């Protein structure tokens, strides 16, 4: 029987390379170390296939189909290491059926949850990063549905991608659908006050929803790192810096979660519920 009183988790902070094969090797090494340490969940950054810190369009330009070599490699790592992988890849549109035409050539920025070699959930990023002079929507097609909540060893984990963090209704939708923790896969861009925003928003999403938050950001010349794990009361229980790769590990506690929701019953005290968030 699975012990649901706690859930050991890990976040892999690293610089995504230009070469997809090298990225798979790094992910496998992190997955091995995570499994050896007893964790069952490994959170990865946004845009896992390929990245160039000086080229905003590089990740989308190297999109692959879901049955392509990179996602196949992720599935193999998950199966070999008996671990749940969570992170985003850029996915090319499905090939049109006979007689149809491809109306939009943009790719999807897709969050995948892969357990024991199988894709158990996927989510196309809702809020595209059209801010701070960036234009993600030029290359990426926005999603149309709320992100899912998935079960991992008796824990309910909701997912979000990077810029979604700035939209509190997205996190709230996960909490009201039963999320115990919110997992954020990101490539949070450096800039004036951007590190402060990241830390503020990750903590806010935890406290206002009394959920754990597992927030992973790619680290490099362009992106800040600062990956972190936050308790339902806003305490940072695991954290990385803004330049070094490595694993951030923590254990989620059911008792700690239930205590937070008992003393701070914000979900139960809500006066207005938006049915669209469900």
Enter the pTM of the model: 0.95
Domain ranges of the chain: 7-93+106-261
pLDDT at 100 over 50: no
Q: Is 19 a catalytic residue?
A: no
At 98, the pLDDT band (50, 70, 90 cuts) reads low
pLDDT at site 131: 96
156 DSSP β-pair partners: 151
> How open is the CA angle 229-1-77, to the nearest 5 degrees?
55
Pairing mode, if any, of strands 228-230 and 212-217? Answer: antiparallel
The CA dihedral of 64, 67, 69, 74, to the nearest 10 degrees, is 100
Question: What is the DSSP code string of 39-99?
Answer: -SEEE--S--S--BTTBTTHHHHT-B-TTSHHHHHHHHHHHHHT-EEEEEEEEPPPPPPTT
Q: What is the pLDDT of residue 275?
A: 66
pLDDT class for 278, splitting at 50, 70, 90? Answer: low
Split at pLDDT 50, 70, 90, the class of 93 is confident
Q: Any catalytic annotation for residue 21?
A: no
State yes or no: pLDDT of 179 exceeds 50: yes
Q: Which two tokens stand for residue 24?
A: 């798979």
Q: What is the C-alpha to C-alpha distance for residues 195 and 208, in angstroms, rounded to an integer?
A: 20
Name beta bridge partners: 236. Answer: 230
* Residue-wise pLDDT tens digits, 49-66: 999 987 888 999 999 999
Average pLDDT over residues 167-182: 97
Helices marked H in the chain — which ranges? 20-36, 58-61, 69-81, 168-176, 194-209, 254-263
Assign domain 7-93+106-261 to its CATH superfamily. Carbon-nitrogen hydrolase (3.60.110.10)
Count of CB atoms situated within 10 Å of the CB of 36 = 9
Whether the pLDDT of residue 2 is over 80: the answer is: no
> Each residue of 245-273: pLDDT tens digit?
999 999 999 999 999 999 999 999 998 87
Q: Which SS3 state, helix, strand or coil, does residue 110 take? A: strand
Q: What is the pLDDT of residue 274?
A: 74
Is 226 noted as a catalytic residue in this protein?
no
Q: What is the mean pLDDT of residues 181-199?
A: 97
- Average pLDDT value for the chain: 94
- Of the residues 162, 211, 216, 226, only one is catalytic, namely 162
Residue reference for tokens 């490595």: 246
Other residues' Cβ atoms within 10 Å of the Cβ of residue 151? 13
What average pLDDT score do residues 6-20 get? 98
Q: Catalytic residue, from 46, 211, 216, 218: name it.
A: 46
pLDDT for residue 97 is more than 60: no
Percent of the chain with pLDDT over 90: 89
Q: At 192, is the secondary structure helix, strand, or coil? A: coil
In 3-state terms, the chain is what percent helix, strand and coil (to 5)?
A: 30, 30, 40
CA–centroid distance for 127 within its chain: 14
Q: What is the pLDDT of residues 22-32, one digit of tens each?
A: 999 999 999 99
- Catalytic residue, from 19, 21, 125, 208: name it: 125
pLDDT tens per residue across span 117-157 = 999 999 999 999 999 999 999 999 999 999 999 999 999 99
């Amino acid at each position: 029987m699975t012990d649901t009183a706690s859930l050991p988790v890990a976040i892999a902070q690293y610089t995504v390379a230009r070469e997809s094969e090298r990225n798979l090797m790094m992910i496998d090494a992190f997955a091995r170390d995570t499994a050896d340490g007893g964790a069952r969940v490994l959170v990865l950054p946004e845009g896992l296939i390929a990245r160039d810190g000086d080229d905003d369009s590089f990740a989308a330009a190297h999109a692959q189909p879901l049955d392509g070599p990179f996602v196949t490699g992720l599935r193999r790592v998950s199966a070999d290491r008996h671990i749940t992988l969570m992170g985003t890849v850029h996915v090319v549109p499905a090939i049109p059926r006979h007689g149809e035409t491809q109306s939009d050539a943009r790719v999807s920025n897709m969050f995948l949850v892969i357990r024991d070699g199988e894709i158990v959930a996927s989510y196309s990023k809702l809020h595209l990063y059209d801010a701070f002079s960036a234009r993600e929507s030029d290359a990426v097609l926005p999603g149309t549905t709320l992100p899912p909540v998935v079960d991992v060893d008796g824990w309910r984990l909701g997912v979000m991608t990077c810029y979604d963090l700035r939209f509190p209704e997205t996190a709230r939708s996960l909490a009201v659908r039963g999320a115990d923790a919110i997992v954020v896969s990101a490539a949070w861009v450096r800039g004036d006050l951007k590190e402060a925003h990241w830390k503020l928003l990750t903590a806010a999403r935890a406290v206002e929803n009394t959920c754990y938050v597992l927030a992973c950001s790619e680290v490099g010349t362009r992106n800040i790192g600062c990956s972190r794990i936050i308790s339902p009361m806003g305490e940072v229980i695991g954290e990385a810096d803004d330049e070094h790769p490595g694993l951030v590990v923590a254990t989620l506690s059911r008792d700690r979660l239930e205590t937070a929701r008992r003393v701070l019953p914000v979900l139960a005290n809500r006066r207005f519920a938006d049915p669209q968030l469900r």
